[in-house]
Amino acid sequence: MDFYDIPVLPRKGEETTLREYAGKVLLIVNTATGCGLTPQYEELEQMYRRHKEQGFEILDFPCNQFMEQAKGDDEQINSFCTARYDTTFPRFKKIEVNGPGAVPLFRYLKEQKPQGTAAKGKWFMSMMIRISSFFNRKSSEQGDIRWNFTKFLVDREGHVVERFEPTVTAEQIEPAIEKLL
């Protein structure tokens, strides 16, 4: 399957594909509004504004699978993100990233990069995510996403270049993005 033919559901509107993002560097993130990592929205937005004109996009996919930390409907989630963090990058409908309900995009991303790069110096937080994920039972298959704010970096040709674990910050990812831009 061609990456750009993968179906996605915009926050508003009918099913479409990723075709409109062909030729851009993408950071695809599963997010949540009630998570300890939710403040990452602020640094993601700052990075988005710095690089958008160079052909960079962040695609935000809210997910409620991890301790139900993305409560509310799509409009409530969007309102929260725009009011609290002034986000301007595209946000899609709430999805599932693991299990039988996982959307095709995240099944593809996990297949391409089943393991992620961990954050340097954040071993305690990474361990807590692993423990929480185990008890949450939403991450049991090889390659499954363990928590909110897992990030996938995609180059301009639609190749999944890297997967970053939730505690990896925008500042730590930015050099890899700049290299692709």
Is 81 an annotated catalytic residue? no
Tokens 């110096």 belong to which residue? 121
**Cβ(27)–Cβ(57) under 8 Å?**
yes
Among the listed residues 35, 37, 102, 129, the single catalytic one is: 35
DSSP state of 118: P
Beta strands in the chain (DSSP E): 7-8, 16-17, 25-31, 56-62, 151-154, 160-164
Q: Which residues contact 116 (CB under 8 A, 6 or more apart)?
A: 150, 162, 163, 164, 165, 168
The residues facing 61 across adjacent strands are 30
**Token pair listed for 142:** 């090889």
- Active-site positions? 35
